[in-house]
Amino acid sequence: MFDVVIIGSGLGGLVCGSLLAREGKRVLILERHSQSGGCMQGYQRKGLSYDTGLHYIGGLGENQRLHKVFSHLGLMTLPWVRLDADGFDLITIGQETFRFAEGYDQFVETLSERFPKEREALQQYVRMLKAVEEVSIESQDMFQLFGQNAYDYLNETFHDSLLVNVLSGSSWKMELRRESLPLFTFAHGNSSFIGSSWRLRGSGNLLVDTLAETIRCAGGEIICCAEVEEILERNGQIDAVRCKNGETYEGRVFISDIHPAQTFAMIKESHLVKNLFRRRINSMENTVGMFTVSLMMKPDALRYFNHNKYIYEKPNVWTVAEETDHVGGVMVSARVPEDGSEYVRQIDLLTPMQWNTCKRWNNTRIGRRGEEYEQMKARQADECIALAEREIPGLRQMTEAIYTSTPLTWHDYTMTPDGSAYGVRKDSRNLMMTMLSPRTPIPNLLLTGQNLMLHGVEGVTMTALKTCGELLGNEFIQKIMK
């Protein structure tokens, strides 16, 4: 009998497990894959470790929200590298490049040099970003103040359409969907990075391994290759979960870090989970996926750059996520050299990819998708590299090896529906119906992860804190965030 059984060992499950184990709870985490981490896990190629979902993080500066939680979890001892203060993100639209500077005042000053008539609007914009950092997730203030459409807000606030696109240019941390993206999601996904932006010197496995070690040292357990196939309810609460290998694990409280639709599909019958609730969960749309090109660079070929590059073919960055057969924009992220060298060995190129682009290969065995699939990936990779070469001339010639992944890869290895990069799509037209609470109709079953209120490293961490608060009380949250 465990105090808490957690289904899934993505970032949300690991943070919940670490927080609860440190509070004396006997924790068990069940993971279907052969290793923990979900989208935080890396993979090995030719002696180098590549990331799947972690590229950079905002909010680790002193007194920022994520810094407080990561300090509590012992994660601030990891080798974090702060990105360039005068330009942590560089946005290239057409022939012009714009810098996002660290700190709200400098952020405004830097962009005002290019857009002097928009200075007052930029100041209004950063006041809004500051305000969103003060609002508690799931509060009425959040819905009332920031529930409006992000695209509409930007176009109502700024007169220059180019500035609207520049401000949206680094928002690959979310799905830029004009008709539905809530202002809260947009603001939360940008505010912490202006405070401070960071990379790990090493892969996301450093973060995963540290959290896993914390859980085990506190008496918790993590079992891999243990895929849950049924959640067993009796007398109005969950008693146990049964895995495909036949093992059954009992608990007092259960937390699901997997997609809500997958969670409730494993509850066969329940008088508490009404059909209306099931239909709501099953009807939720998922956000776009991501196509990633991981480049192994030749030794001493390209100097490391301590910022991210966002490069767009066309001026309207809001259309990139809608592309189905063409790369309209690319994010370029360099891995911090782990040997202290001035030269980078690994670069990732990312671009949004629709599930429809690759779903016809969904029923093919992993690694046996056929020539058409490989040709599609090669075309996409070529387009990504060509776009990146606008800012890094000769990139292709500097490359030693190329590895690619699609939303189908994410789907197969993390069981993420539609290979979604950001979980359930939040909709400003119906925000309260698309932002899920950790609470469920079953009292001892809670949810966590990117499918609830917020996504990204900070969003998932804050959501996990909220989930644990349901068990340990608001005083627990206040103690960490003071």
How do residues 9-45 score in pLDDT, each as one tens digit?
999 999 999 999 999 999 999 999 888 888 888 788 8
Query: CB of 295 within 8 A of CB of 349?
Result: yes
CA distance to 175, 336, 448, 462, per residue, from 68 (Å): 27, 24, 19, 11
161-203 pLDDT, tens digit each: 999 999 999 988 889 999 999 999 999 989 999 999 999 999 8
Which two tokens mark 30? 């069940």
pLDDT at 287 over 80: yes
pLDDT at 50 over 80: yes
| Alpha helices for 365-473 (secondary structure H) | 371-388, 407-414, 431-434, 456-472
Nearby residues of 341 by Cβ (< 8 Å), 6 or more positions away = 300, 304
Which DSSP state fits 306?
A: S
Which residues are 230's β-sheet partners?
242
Classify residue 261 by burial, with Cβ atoms within 10 Å: 0-12, 13-18, 19+: middle
- 392, pLDDT greater than 80: yes
- The size of the chain, in residues, is 482
pLDDT of residue 431: 83
What tokens appear for 124 in the block?
């209004």
**310 pLDDT band (50/70/90 cuts)?**
very high
- What pLDDT, on the 0 to 100 scale, is given for residue 362? 63
CB 15 within 8 A of CB 312: no
Copy the structure tokens of residue 260: 């809500």
Which residue type, as a one-letter code, is found at position 139? Answer: S
Going by C-alpha positions, the residue among 271, 254, 285 that lies closest to residue 441 is 271
Q: Which of 409, 391, 374 is nearest to 333 (CA)?
A: 391
In degrees and rounded to multiples of 5, residue 241 shows phi and psi of -125, 145
- pLDDT reported for residue 339: 87
Say if residue 26 is exposed, middle or buried (CB neighbours under 10 Å; 0-12, 13-18, 19+).
middle
CA distance 50 to 403: 10
| Confidence at 365, pLDDT banded by 50, 70, 90 | low
Q: pLDDT by residue (tens digit) across 111-151? A: 999 999 999 999 999 999 998 888 776 666 777 767 899 99
Give, to the nearest 10 degrees, the angle between helix 11-22 and helix 205-217. Answer: 30
| pLDDT band of 51, cuts 50, 70, 90 | confident
Predicted local confidence at residue 136, as pLDDT: 74
Q: In what helix (H) or strand (E) does residue 478 lie, and over which residues does it extend?
A: helix 474-481
